[in-house]
């Protein structure tokens, strides 16, 4: 009897250790960089043994990779339609949840975009305009929609410099590779861009489709219970406060 109890105890300890030690692999839209890093820091204070590893990039490219069985446990997309499509194809094991609504801004160190608003992009002294690639980056798609709405797209498209994702796009204007750019509000509010003393103008949401952003647990995480713990933490008051701080407005229910 004692041997049996000892064996059960060892098995339980081994299983529990594996649960505690299991890593969580996350694919996340690059606009989430500063917000999600802060959320993970808060998460680690409550779950110090759980490791979260994040790869930041283009939502569209991650969507393609996940369809070919990329080894991610969770997926955070700047366009909620991507995780919804994955769920429709049976590639997820949770509901798709919204973590916030993204906003796009015109950001520049060279001029103040608030003076002429969208028309500031027509300034003849601006030689390069950075936007994320609309083919696979939701922020780039919304930037294009806004410029078309205000009928300035055809007038400025020859000046475009395309970032592979919104983070690279922000780097272009931050480092001076572009004179002005359309970037995520969450990045404009980040410490890296605040210290550059640039100015930004929030583009009216009426000019583009809503940037509803979502996350989901992927099939790869079926044997990783820690993925669910982190998934639930994103809906906690702590995580929501961080997301709000970085400009992700919460969906009204």
Q: Is the pLDDT of residue 15 over 50?
A: no
Share of the chain above pLDDT 90, in %: 87
Q: What count of other Cβ atoms lies within 10 Å of the Cβ of residue 94? A: 17
pLDDT digits (tens, 9 = 90+) for 156-170: 999 999 999 999 999
Q: Which residues pair with 161 in a beta bridge?
A: 130
**Which residues touch 5 (CB under 8 Å, ≥6 apart)?**
none
Beta 160-163 vs 24-29: how paired, if at all? unpaired
Model-level pTM? 0.85
* DSSP, res 234: T
Beta 199-202 vs 160-163: how paired, if at all? unpaired
pLDDT of 245 reads 94
The contacts found for 200-206 with CB under 8 angstroms, 24 or more apart, are 200/105, 200/106, 200/107, 200/108, 200/113, 201/105, 201/106, 201/113, 201/114, 201/117, 201/120, 202/103, 202/104, 202/105, 203/103, 203/104, 203/105, 203/106, 203/118, 203/146, 204/146, 205/103, 206/149
Domains and CATH numbers, the chain: 2-101+210-245 (3.40.190.10), 103-207 (3.40.190.10)
pLDDT digits (tens, 9 = 90+) for 165-197: 999 999 999 999 999 999 999 999 999 899 998
How far apart are alpha carbons 81 and 215 in whole angstroms? Answer: 10
Q: What does 115-184 look like in DSSP terms, one character per residue?
A: HHGGGGGG-TT---EEEE-TTT-HHHHHHHHHHHHTT-HHHHGGGEEEESSHHHHHHHHHHTSSSEEEEE
Q: What is the largest CA-CA distance in the chain?
A: 86
What Cα–Cα distance (Å) separates residue 62 from each residue in 46, 65, 66, 92, 103? 29, 5, 6, 14, 21
pLDDT digits (tens, 9 = 90+) for 112-142: 999 999 999 999 999 999 999 999 899 999 9
What Cα–Cα distance (Å) separates residue 74 from each residue in 28, 53, 59? 8, 10, 12
Mean pLDDT over the full length of the chain? 91
pLDDT of 22 reads 76
pLDDT of 252 reads 55
Do 26 and 54 contact (CB within 8 A), yes or no? yes
* pLDDT band, very low/low/confident/very high, at 249 (cuts 50, 70, 90): confident
């Amino acid at each position: 009897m004692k041997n049996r109890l000892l064996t059960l105890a060892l098995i339980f300890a081994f299983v529990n250790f594996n649960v505690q030690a299991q890593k969580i692999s996350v694919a996340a839209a690059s606009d989430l960089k500063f917000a999600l890093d802060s959320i993970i820091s808060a998460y680690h204070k409550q779950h110090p043994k759980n490791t979260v590893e994040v790869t930041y990039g283009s939502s569209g490219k991650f969507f393609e990779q996940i369809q070919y069985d990329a080894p991610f446990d969770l997926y955070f997309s700047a366009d909620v339609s991507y995780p919804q499509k994955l769920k429709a194809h049976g590639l997820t094991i949770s509901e798709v949840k919204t973590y916030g609504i993204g906003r796009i801004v015109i950001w520049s160190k060279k001029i103040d975009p608030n003076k002429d608003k969208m028309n500031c992009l027509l300034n003849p002294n601006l030689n390069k305009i950075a936007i994320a690639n609309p083919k696979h980056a939701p922020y780039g798609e919304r930037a294009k929609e806004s410029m078309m709405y205000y009928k300035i797209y055809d007038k400025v498209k020859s000046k475009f410099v395309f970032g592979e994702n919104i983070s690279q796009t922000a780097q272009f204007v931050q480092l001076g590779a572009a004179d002005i750019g359309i970037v995520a509000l969450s990045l404009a509010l980040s410490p890296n861009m605040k210290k550059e003393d640039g100015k930004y103008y929030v583009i009216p949401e009426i000019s583009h489709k809503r940037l509803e952003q979502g996350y989901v647990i992927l099939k790869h995480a079926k044997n990783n219970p820690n993925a669910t713990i982190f998934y639930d933490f994103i809906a906690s008051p702590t995580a929501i406060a961080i997301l709000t701080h970085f400009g992700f407005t919460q969906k009204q229910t």
